[in-house]
């Protein structure tokens, strides 16, 4: 190795040649034959697979590979957007929805929106326990239009002291209405739940 620069291509080739000779027990190998064989194999593989080997310029299949029996799912911006009911305007939770897409949706005469948030088709109803203490009848009326459909979430911010009795009541109500009760102990945590569900 003597006075060869360790970073030069020639020194790398010389080192490879030396190691091959050591591996083959001192037999000299024909580097041009080895290089041409390996380049021929590379050409066969790249042409057979129709891919470019360079990591910086890869070809990707436009269609995702889907196995039989699995559902084909395409991700676009619409599916990754949290739908927010206009009734949530002014909710401090909206300021905490960072690095995620969300947009307002409004009820119309024909299409009534009962959810507060919708994430990947799952309806999320938001409740602050402070508000629930002031208006306990609100949540019963809010959950009623959903019937007993499954997969709905009641996202509840626990922002009052001595909340055990209220939470027992809410747990029973959600259990019999097909909702899952998800507790957050701050608005920031509730925002993180929504962001996580949207991924």
Cα–Cα separations (whole angstroms), residue 71 to 68, 100, 193? 8, 25, 26
Q: What is the rounded end-to-end Cα distance, in angstroms, of the chain?
A: 54
The token duo for 109 is 């005469």
86 vs 72 pLDDT, higher one: 86
The token duo for 175 is 């259990």
Q: How far is the C-alpha of 131 from the C-alpha of 72, rounded, in Å?
A: 42
- Model confidence over 114-165: pLDDT tens digits? 999 999 999 999 999 999 999 999 999 999 999 888 889 999 999 999 999 9
CB 118 within 8 A of CB 104: no
Say which CATH architecture domain 82-198 belongs to.
3-Layer(aba) Sandwich (3.40)
- Model confidence over 54-83: pLDDT tens digits? 444 444 444 444 444 444 444 455 568 999
The model's pTM is: 0.60
pLDDT at 76: 56
Q: For residue 184, is pLDDT > 90?
A: yes
- Average pLDDT of 85-89? 95
pLDDT at 19: 86
Q: How far is the C-alpha of 114 from the C-alpha of 144, rounded, in Å?
A: 9
DSSP character for 3? T
The token duo for 99 is 């690095």
Cα–Cα separations (whole angstroms), residue 101 to 35, 96, 199? 51, 12, 11
Task: Please tell me the total number of residues recorded for the chain in this structure.
Answer: 199
């Amino acid at each position: 190795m003597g006075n060869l620069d360790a970073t030069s291509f020639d020194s790398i080739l010389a080192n490879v040649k030396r190691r091959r000779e050591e591996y083959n027990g001192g037999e000299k190998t024909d580097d041009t034959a080895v290089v041409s064989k390996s380049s021929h194999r590379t050409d066969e593989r790249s042409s057979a697979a129709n891919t470019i080997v360079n990591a910086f310029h890869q070809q990707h299949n436009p269609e995702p590979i889907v196995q039989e029996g699995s559902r084909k799912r395409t991700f676009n911006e619409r599916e990754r957007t949290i739908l927010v009911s206009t009734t949530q305007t002014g909710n401090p939770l909206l300021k905490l929805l960072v690095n995620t897409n969300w947009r307002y949706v409004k009820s119309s005469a024909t299409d009534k929106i009962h959810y507060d948030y919708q994430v990947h088709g799952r309806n999320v109803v938001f409740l602050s326990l402070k508000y629930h203490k002031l208006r306990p009848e609100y949540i019963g009326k809010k959950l009623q239009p959903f019937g007993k459909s499954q997969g709905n979430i009641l996202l509840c911010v626990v922002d009052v002291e001595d909340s055990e009795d209220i939470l027992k009541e809410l747990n029973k109500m959600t259990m019999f209405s097909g909702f899952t009760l998800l507790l957050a102990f701050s608005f920031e945590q509730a925002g993180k739940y929504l962001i996580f569900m949207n991924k």
